A and B are shown apart, each in its own frame.
Chain A
Amino acid sequence: MIIKDLILSRWIYPLLKNEKVTGFFAFMLIGSCLFAQSGIPELIPVTQTYVLQNVQIVVRPGQIISGGTVIIQDGLIQAAGKDIAIPAHARKIKADSMFVYAGFIAGLSQSGIPRPESAAGATGGRTPGGQGQQRPRVSDPWNPTYEESGITPYVRVRDVFKSDDKSLEEMRKLGFTAAQVYPIGKMLPGQASLVSLGIGKNADELLLKENTALVASFTPASGAFPSTIIGVMSRFRELYKNAIRLQDYQKSYGSNPVNVNRPMADKSLESFFPVLDGKIPFIFQAPDMKSVYRVQALKNELKFGVHYADVKEGYYVGDLLKSEGKPIIISLDLPKAADEKKPVADSSKNAAPKDLEMEALKARTAEELKRLEGQAAKLAALGLPFSFSTVGVKSTDIKETLRRMIKAGLTEDQALAALTTTPAAQLGVSNRFGTVEKGRAANLVVSDKSYFDEKSSVRFVFIDGKIFEYEVKATPKAGANASAGGKAAEAPKVAGKWSYTIKAPGMNTEGILSFSGSGSDLTGEWTSSQVPGTNPISNISVEGNKLSFTSNISMGARQINLDFNLSVDGNSLSGTVGVGTFGTFDVTGAKIDGQ
């Protein structure tokens, strides 16, 4: 949790050293923040040299230096080891006995990539029509444009990346310092790039390595060919073969253009060239087992280099993935166990007879979940290196997911490798990132306990030598909240009726949320201008001022899951709702009957 404003911690905090913040200082600081935000140029920090003393340096998975010293200077690790002289101008970081790791690297992520305004396509080739028009018309069903087809391999991260996106900080505070990100899209969403998750005014300042891979998935287009997996497979083959043709054509035209019509430029096909040349691989998203087989079939047929990505069901295809001989990217999206209803108090007289069939089904469900949790351990045991994808993952779930994987047999060293050395190797940047060694970029995570310990907290993150500081939120002890300083957030009053508006492109949806009860007995339902009737709400959770809940509704034969994440501030609420595969939309609301 960032307690101090970023600017404060980077530039002003060093002046304060460890003194208690006085009211005067606080006033000054607030003032400086305001100035900074209103465009006053950044101040040069007093020192860019930091020292971490008496720390556990996890140089790389399995190699620990106890009681070591790390010196960070001018964006690089100046020294890491024992018996190191400390420069006089270094700021001493209070990290005694803490654990220092190389900054984590997400193997695949969409951090900093905003959702496109239009849900129609990655690059907004079309916008949803006006009122009454239910879906955008395809210009020509026989020949949809590249954009309508979801074929946008020419889109670059630097064109769409938002360096001020809040997702960067969400990842940073977990210890992620770099990520391979790619544009949002469909079958060929665009080119991946490795970006820093630090502070930058624009994408260029954070770009570490451009065009690391061409991303592909089985996501079909809407209303236009290819609208199914089989369409995507066919179109993919066609594009690939025509890219080969165009490259040959351009080469031969380049060497002798006489008496030959010029080849037409084609931004999509030309984007394949680095793959055809073997310079970059495809990152092919294959979350489920069947997709892995499908990617393999395409790869065997067309012979391209591929990194399987977002893999969730590797448990079943470990040997296949291993035989491909390339590191893969597995998903950190791990389903949670189905909510177990509280066991009814055992009044042995009225106990209902056990539903044996349901018991057996539940046992299989639990077994399947174990396999998904055990994927990482199984692949690691096979000796297949992998990194992690955070695509479609709530950042707040990541640490818990890692612990579940470890509980299922993954060792902490293997988990660390997947967060550091493996992605660095996959991306060809092992000489810059992934280990805590002299000369590497000063991308570090400092955790007060072992990172994988349930009670650990990330206290400092360094990115390119810049420090981000996090304080541990004091956990109020039960029954002692009176003395906790009065600042402990009081649970917001959720019960009552709220009006809300969901803002989706081209259409706002309005309705009423109703909650009753309190604490763990909170129940709710909602109505909407889009969905007839009243819909039940489940999984209600209130933490601090955060209110989250889900609702499952049927649209015809289809079940759509709504995932609300809201902040309650007195009588107003705001936040987002995830709507199945449609995307995530902003929600605002206000209380209409105070309780």
Chain B
Amino acid sequence: MFKILNIFNLLFLVSFAQAQVTKGSLLIKNGTILTVTKGNMENADLLVENGKITKMGKGLVAPAGTQTIDATGKFIMPGIIDAHSHIGIDVVNEASRPSTADVWVGDALDPLDLSIYRALAGGVTASHAMHGSANAVGGECETIKHRYGTLNPEEMRMEGAPRTIKFALGENPMRVHGEGNRIVPATRMGVEQIFRKGFEDAKAYMAAWDLYEKEKVKNPAALKPVYNKRHETMAEILKGNIIIHCHSYRSDEILMLLNVCKDYQIKRLVFQHTNEGFKVAPELAAYGAMASVFADWWAYKFEVYYSTAYNAAILTKNGVVTSINSDSEEYIRHLYHEAAKTQRYGSLSDEEALALITINPAKQLGIDQRVGSLEIGKDADIAIFDGHPLSIYAVPQFTIVDGVVRFNRSKDTADQRLRASATRAETGFFLHKEQHNHDRCLEGAFENTATFFGLERE
């Protein structure tokens, strides 16, 4: 069966490969290059060929006809990466049971989401489109590149990015299931048991398949186990093929999940939000767990009061790979401001602060070999600012994905929608204003409780 599964996977890859990603070539002249990993280069050029950075240095020449951007007086940095967002997807939460490891937001990508363009306008070239936190084990997430302009959802995927999955601790999964449906988990203890039960089921599932594979050699008519996508996904986590990204606030729960992962020998683990991460930074660093945090956003529910704007700096100084994320289609437009706050609260250096929104989120998503810094051979995902990106006065001018200019401030027009409604003349400007004031982690979680005339919505 695994062979058959592999064939399915192969076919899957083939179907992805059919989506041709547009790649570009261009020459960026005479700017200040902030490589993030290898220092800065003044008055330098950067050459992009077929979507990859091929040269950085002075006096570069490009083949005739190559698009050239004059970056004199401007700052060139790696495209910003958001390790936690919910843009570019039509579904955030499949909230119908405490574990939905069987779903994948990559099945519902939305290339039309205007938030992608707005993120580009903030220099963000890739983001982690995540399942929500309505359940202890949410669904698999999708790392997308902001190739705004394509109508084909397949072209949004960052091809080759590792699989990731959303876990959630605390109030959200308790509220939706314990209080909403009167089932486990109604408490933080219950949340832990959802993980442990999920991994135990996965082990039994793997054992059944292994047995079948052995049986099949002797007996071609051996009976296949029933295919169960939820168990299969949990098994892939145990095998190290999927990175856990866990919604978390309280330090006691963060330690709890560390213990669960230790028990099941799971190494790839990133905590999201992690507001109390500063209390357990040494433990996180020792385990190799990473943290993705807000700069200064808290107190939107009871478990998120004990927070500090020094969180990112404390985690960084303790050796935890830390990123700053948006979890919002508004914050995603100015992650460079969010990163700069760590210089006021924690005195991080320019490179440390920029790493929070570039190479560190890339590491957390397992894509740091491809993006997150300006280096020869890496993807040409680039943001160009008119000032230093950590300056409050800096404004993004160009955002480039795979060598293709996807945002150009001088060509920014009023209506950037890829498609308009056929019936309503609307701007799209306020399309998301209802979610403006809180994170989107619970979006859709209570939707199926809406009723009308005593009936539920389909």
Contact = CB atoms under 8 A, between A and B. Distances in A.
B453 A507 contact: yes
A228, A235, A289, A336: residue with the most chain B Cβ atoms closer than 10 Å? A228
Contacts of B415: 360-361, 364
A300 interface: yes
A579 B452 contact: yes
A136 B449 CA distance: 10
B223 interface: yes
B286 interface: no
Given A225-B96, A252-B221, A360-B414, A338 B425 contact: yes
A219 B14 CA distance: 27
B299 interface: no
Chain A, interface residues (CB within 8 Å), range? 35 or more
A371 B423 CA distance: 12
Nearest to A585: B453
A582 B102 contact: no
A195 to B, nearest CB: 25
B102 A234 contact: yes
A219 B452 contact: no
B103 A338 contact: no
A64 to B, nearest CB: 35
A368 B104 CA distance: 31
Contacts of A530: 452-453
Nearest to A334: B422
Contact of B424 (A136, A219, A241, A338): A338
A502 B455 CA distance: 13
A582 B453 contact: yes
Contacts of B455: 119, 128, 504-507, 582-583
Nearest to B155: A293
A579 B456 CA distance: 11
A301 interface: yes
Contacts of B422: 335, 365, 368-369, 371-372
A297 interface: yes
Contacts of B153: 290, 293-294
B14 A222 contact: no
A17 interface: no
B226 A245 contact: yes
Contacts of A337: 423
Interface stretch (A168-176, A405-413, A417-425, A552-560): A552-560
Contacts of B100: 225, 231
A228 B426 contact: no
A222 B8 CA distance: 30
A337 B421 CA distance: 11
Contacts of B454: 128, 134, 504-507
A338 B226 CA distance: 51
Contacts of A357: 414, 427
A294 B107 contact: yes
A580 interface: yes
Contacts of A219: 458
A505 B11 CA distance: 46
B190 to A, nearest CB: 14
A231 B94 contact: yes
A230 B12 contact: no
A317 B456 CA distance: 33
Contacts of A473: none
A556 B221 contact: no
Nearest to B446: A556
B280 to A, nearest CB: 32
B404 interface: no
B239 interface: no
Contact of A228 (B93, B109, B227): B93
Given A230-B105, A238-B102, A558-B450, A364 B15 contact: no
A357 B428 CA distance: 12
A468 to B, nearest CB: 35
A361 B14 CA distance: 39
B204 interface: no
Contacts of A358: 425
Chain B, interface residues (CB within 8 Å), range? 35 or more
A238 B456 contact: no
Given A248-B224, A530-B453, A301 B93 contact: no
B154 to A, nearest CB: 7
A223 B103 CA distance: 16
B451 interface: yes
Contacts of A230: 91, 94, 103-105, 107-108, 139
Interface in A223-277: 223-231, 233-235, 237-238, 241-242, 245, 248-249, 252, 256, 260-261
Nearest to A135: B456
A24 interface: no
Contact of B426 (A135, A361, A580): A361
B262 interface: no
Contacts of B255: none
Interface in B234-265: none
A136 B457 CA distance: 12
A466 interface: no
A348 interface: no
A120 B424 CA distance: 31
Nearest to B224: A245
Contacts of B151: 289, 316-317
Given A530-B453, A555-B452, A227 B95 contact: yes
B421 A368 contact: yes
A141 interface: yes
A595 interface: no
B376 interface: no
Interface string A132-166: 00111010011010000000000000000000000
B437 interface: no
Interface of B: 8, 11-12, 14-15, 18, 90-91, 93-98, 100, 102-105, 107-112, 139, 151-154, 177, 181, 183, 221, 223-224, 226-229, 414-415, 417, 419-427, 434, 444, 448-458
Given A290-B112, A364-B425, 17 more contacts: A138-B181, A186-B458, A223-B96, A223-B456, A226-B96, A227-B94, A227-B95, A230-B104, A242-B226, A293-B153, A357-B427, A365-B425, A368-B422, A505-B454, A507-B454, A509-B453, A579-B452
17 contacts: A119-B456, A142-B97, A221-B96, A226-B94, A228-B93, A230-B91, A233-B104, A290-B90, A300-B12, A300-B18, A316-B419, A335-B422, A338-B425, A361-B425, A372-B422, A530-B452, A580-B452
Interface of A: 119-120, 128, 134-136, 138, 141-142, 144, 186, 219-231, 233-235, 237-238, 241-242, 245, 248-249, 252, 256, 260-261, 289-290, 293-294, 296-297, 300-303, 316-317, 335-338, 357-358, 360-362, 364-365, 367-369, 371-372, 502, 504-507, 509, 530, 555-558, 560, 579-583, 585
